[in-house]
Amino acid sequence: MTEYTINLPGSQMPDAWYNIAADFPSAVPPPLHPGTKEPLAPSDLGAIFPDNLIEQEMSTERWISIPGEVMDAYKLWRPTPLRRAYRLEKALDTPAKIFYKNESVSPSGSHKLNTAVPQAYYNKEAGVNTLTTETGAGQWGTALSIACSMFDMHCTVYMVKVSFEQKPYRRSLIQTFGAEIVPSPSDTTDFGKAYLAKHPDSPGALGIAISEAVEVAVKSGGAIRYSLGSVLNHVMLHQTIIGEEARLQMESIDEYPDVVIGCCGGGSNLAGLSFPYARDKFNGKDITLLAVEPSACPTLTRGVYGYDFGDTGELTPLLIQYTLGHDFIPPSIHSGGLRYHGVASQIAHMVHHGYMEARALQQTKVFEAGMLFARCEGIVPAPESCHAILGAVDEAKRCRESGEAKTILFNLSGHGHFDMSSYESYLSGKLTDYDLEESLIQEATKDILQYQG
């Protein structure tokens, strides 16, 4: 019998990230300048990001070496375990084999640290000593705080005010790693001050927090840079360490997945696990790559494919994506990390060209799957990760019906130790499911520049 845990020795950890841009059968339509609508020049990003990260963002090199200091930091928690979910298989009475990559073991509790570490490193290399960012649910703020602490950098996290007030433990976790937290909107930025003048009692929103964090970077003259936890190409790139490890681990037990599943908000954990398998798919391999998203924010399944802003404030370049419109405010579901109006261009490209499938799921069923997983596997999953779990459970149930012994691999992107209030809502029967009206989506996306590529 295969062991429950398939560990990869630290000495065998992959030393390069996989850049899917090298292998796309057709190129991803480029980001556009929000003013000119012309393709973006690297220098257009120079006010926010350092040159080395901009170079990665634009690169089409297939393999990008992981610097020694990043490797060293990764080894604090990587390679992460691959696990065979024997108890879950048994509970489902399925002939399918279920594997999951356990990213919850990271110091930040999720995959986010995989990109926070290199982003901190490259900024430090470029002479930057302070990073700013925003955080909503808190996963990303935690990760960047830890990464900055590793490289002796200062970190300022603009935390959506309502989260700052409602999540004191997440706040303490971020502070434990030394970051400064500013509840947003704040009086530390012009944007924040102006916003507060109009809305003194605002609970804040991710869009406002982004604007504050970006403003601090732009106005610093280069001393301070901004860092983003998803959506961009270099973030997807850094996350491929997940899938590269998984490939080696699956190979070590002579397994190869028929289905690879990840939950999708901005898309980074999904990209991290699935892109290393996508290159086989481009070469004709029969493998299903599946994105799972919440029905309350069905970007990939019901959004429009076109150019849209990444943020509410229309500060970012226009990115090709599936979008519900950058003004769209999804219902308050418990998967904060999946409440994003758009998606990474590379993920959108995969779906648009049929290399990846997408499915939307209701949160009650999602938490039900998370509870089953917790009881079988002993890990309380993050609400986001519960979507991937339900994707895997549904697939395993189909196998039970059909008798197929498929090999399923999903990404357990994080644990839910700081999301227990969501479980409390589930346990007390307070979760609501959402089916968005078609007219609502049409209204929210009516101004999107649709793309026929």
Cα dihedral sign, 64-67-68-70:
negative
Q: Looking at 62, 87, 154, 397, which residue binds its own copies (CB under 8 A)? A: 87
Instruction: Give the footprint of its own copies on residues 66-85 (CB under 8 A).
Output: 75-77
Return the number of the residue (4 or 256) whose C-beta is nearest its own copies.
4
Q: Cα(201)–Cα(204) distance, rounded to whole angstroms?
A: 9
Structure tokens at 242: 């997940």
Return the number of the residue (114 or 316) whose C-beta is nearest its own copies.
114
Residue among 28, 60, 42, 36 nearest 451 (CA): 28
Binding mask 141-180 for its own copies (x = CB under 8 A): -----x--x------------------xxxxxx-xxxx--
How many residues sit close enough to its own copies to count as binding (CB under 8 A)? Answer: 41
Q: Cα(108)–Cα(141) distance, rounded to whole angstroms?
A: 9
Convert 332-343 to b/e letters by CB count within 10 Å (16 or more is b). Answer: ebbbbbbbbbbb
Q: Cα(277)–Cα(387) distance, rounded to whole angstroms?
A: 20
Q: Looking at 25, 378, 403, 429, which residue binds its own copies (CB under 8 A)? A: 378
- Report in angstroms how near the CB of residue 421 gets to its own copies at its nearest: 7
Rule CB under 8 A: is residue 379 a binding residue for its own copies? yes
- Report in angstroms how near the CB of residue 134 gets to its own copies at its nearest: 21
Q: Cα(54)–Cα(190) distance, rounded to whole angstroms?
A: 27
Rule CB under 8 A: is residue 11 a binding residue for its own copies? yes
Q: Is 244 helix (H, G, I), strand (E, B) or coil?
A: helix
Phi-psi region of 323 (alpha: psi -120 to 50; beta: other; left: phi over 0): beta
Return the number of the residue (148 or 216) whose C-beta is nearest its own copies.
148
Instruction: Give the footprint of its own copies on residues 418-437 (CB under 8 A).
Output: 418, 420-421, 423-424, 427
Q: Looking at 374, 397, 441, 451, which residue binds its own copies (CB under 8 A)? A: 374
Q: Cα(184)–Cα(182) distance, rounded to whole angstroms?
A: 6
Rule CB under 8 A: is residue 282 a binding residue for its own copies? no
- CB–CB of 77/105 below 8 Å? yes
Q: Looking at 162, 329, 371, 441, which residue binds its own copies (CB under 8 A)? A: 371
Return the number of the residue (175 or 442) whose C-beta is nearest its own copies.
175
- Report in angstroms how near the CB of residue 73 gets to its own copies at its nearest: 9
Q: Looking at 29, 50, 107, 183, which residue binds its own copies (CB under 8 A)? A: 107
Structure tokens at 316: 């970012």
The region of 47-55, 338-346, 373-381, 390-398 touching its own copies under the rule CB under 8 A is 373-381
Binding mask 24-53 for its own copies (x = CB under 8 A): ------------------------------
Output the 3-class SS for 310-342: CCCCCCCCEEEEEECCCCCCCCCCCCHHHCCCC
Q: Cα(413)–Cα(294) distance, rounded to whole angstroms?
A: 15
Return the number of the residue (7 or 301) whose C-beta is nearest its own copies.
7
- CB–CB of 314/114 below 8 Å? no
- Report in angstroms how near the CB of residue 374 gets to its own copies at its nearest: 5
The residues, ordered by sequence, that sit 6+ positions from 339 with a Cβ below 8 Å of its Cβ are 136, 265, 294, 296, 297, 330, 332, 333
Residue 196 Cα distances to 143, 187, 193, 245, 329, angstroms: 28, 8, 5, 46, 20
- Report in angstroms how near the CB of residue 4 gets to its own copies at its nearest: 5
Return the number of the residue (314 or 368) whose C-beta is nearest its own copies.
368
Q: Looking at 7, 130, 202, 288, which residue binds its own copies (CB under 8 A)? A: 7
By CB under 8 A, name the binding residues for its own copies. 3-5, 7, 9-11, 75-77, 87, 105-107, 109, 146, 149, 168-173, 175-178, 371, 374-375, 377-380, 417-418, 420-421, 423-424, 427
